[in-house]
Amino acid sequence: MSITLTTNPADKTKVKARPMIKHIRTYLLRHKLDESFGFSQWHYDTRNALLIEIEDDRGNIGWGECYGPSEVTQSAVHSIYAPLLIGWDPLKNEAAWQHCWRASLDFARSGIMMGAMSGLDMAMFDLKGKLLGVSASELMGGRRVDKLECYATGMYFRKIPENDLLDMILEEARGYVDQGFKAMKIKVGKNIEFDKRQIRAMREAFPDVRLMADSNHAYDLPEAIEIGRVLEECLFDWFEEPLSPQHPELFAKLADKIDVPIATGECEQTRWGFQKLLGAGGVHIVQPDLAYCGGPTEALKIRAIASSLGINTIAHAWGTMLNLASATHFLATNHVEPGRAEPSQPLLEVDRTPNPMRDEMYSTTLEIKDGQVAVPTAPGLGVEPDRKALAGFCINQTEV
């Protein structure tokens, strides 16, 4: 516990000294990949990340991560939000969120600015847990499980002939099964015929594995219906981002035509954005990303809105260990709707694409073994970057 007792000169009684935010630093990280990979909308040859470090006046540190275009998000943190939070009590994370929200309400209700707020909120959550000596899941209401089942995200596209690509995807998937994963998510949205071949080949090769498919909003409504029926035939657990986030009204029309659950939400932000998305109907699983949706503080409100509509929440997780740890704590506190004697447990997304900034940059990491992750019990998020390793990836640092 870093909060200490001091004497108040006025009344000679013991009062708790409140911590105060003294520094906010950002780290823009980059790594050039040995081999590029792609999905329906883009092809990556570089991994980027933006980490946030908040330090109080006693040297206690909290870490956060932002999801989105790192250079632009770094500017938003450094020039807009960080100056607002210097001198702020890090225990008052909810009030800090509202303070930043009001300061930029006229021009930043969503998008990059909210991504910046998300990383700051995550860092305050981490710092608050360390100051109080409790894990992030305790701050979120208390963990319900000590371990989570994971699903491996991978099977991205490569720039090779389709027959070779399908063989490569199946080989990659076998590797995840050998590692103990009992659930996997593939990428679809390359083209309709290849997508169908891949879906059926995955089910044939892995009859006892839980499978999901993510199109990254690749399809129009007729195409989504066509692919959705193949996913239904092959008993996939969900169809992720089948349609553009620009047209939430189409999800209900899709849901009327297929019987595979529809999952979406990684592109959405704030309780208000999710209220609009879910109010349109058709969504069965909502997927906020804690490094983008508004941070852990806002994710709890999003989950409450989803719960009020009977919809379950499974966090999207992309990036480095900080965002993965945030999603782990969040899912460990989930209440499954509507509940029963033996409820199903939410699955944690574990990205398996190459990323040394996730796998080689942390001195304290999540323990992932046999397709399960142990929920950290250490104060805060329970993961810590290694500063020397971080410096090797950092291309730009700021401090306020």
**Domain CATH for 192:** 3.20.20.120
Give the pLDDT score at 10.
Answer: 54
pLDDT of the residue at 286: 98
pLDDT at 3: 52
One-letter amino acid for residue 151 of the chain: Y
How many residues does the structure list for the chain?
A: 400
Average pLDDT by consecutive 10-residue portion of the chain (400 residues)? 48 71 98 95 94 98 97 98 97 97 93 97 98 98 96 97 98 98 98 98 98 98 98 98 96 98 98 97 98 98 97 96 98 91 90 95 96 97 98 98
| Per-residue model confidence (pLDDT) at position 12 | 52
Query: Do 344 and 371 sit in the same domain of this protein?
Result: yes
Indicate if 150 and 125 belong to the same structural domain.
no
Distance of alpha carbon 348 from the chain centroid: 10
Same-domain pairing of 115 and 196? no
Cα separation, 156 vs 328, whole angstroms: 23
Query: Within a domain: residue 1?
Result: no
| CA distances (Å), origin 177, targets 160, 170, 184, 205, 400 | 24, 11, 9, 11, 46
The secondary structure of residue 157, as a DSSP letter, is B
Question: What's phi and psi for 327, nearest 5 deg?
Answer: -65, -35
Residue 8 within any structural domain of the chain: no
Residues 106 and 160 in one domain: no
- Peptide bond connecting 346 to the previous residue in cis, omega within 30 degrees of 0: no
Domain span including residue 112: 15-133+392-399
| Phi and psi, residue 350, nearest 5° | -125, 105
pLDDT of 16: 66
pLDDT at residue number 344: 83
Domain presence at residue 240: yes
The answer on 141 and 103 residing in a single domain is no
Residues 128 and 232 in one domain: no
- pTM, two decimals, is 0.94
Q: Domains in the chain: how many in total?
A: 2
Domain shared by 233 and 363, yes or no: yes
Same domain, 126 and 148: no
Task: Name the residues annotated as catalytic.
Answer: 316
Note whether 91 and 164 are same-domain residues: no
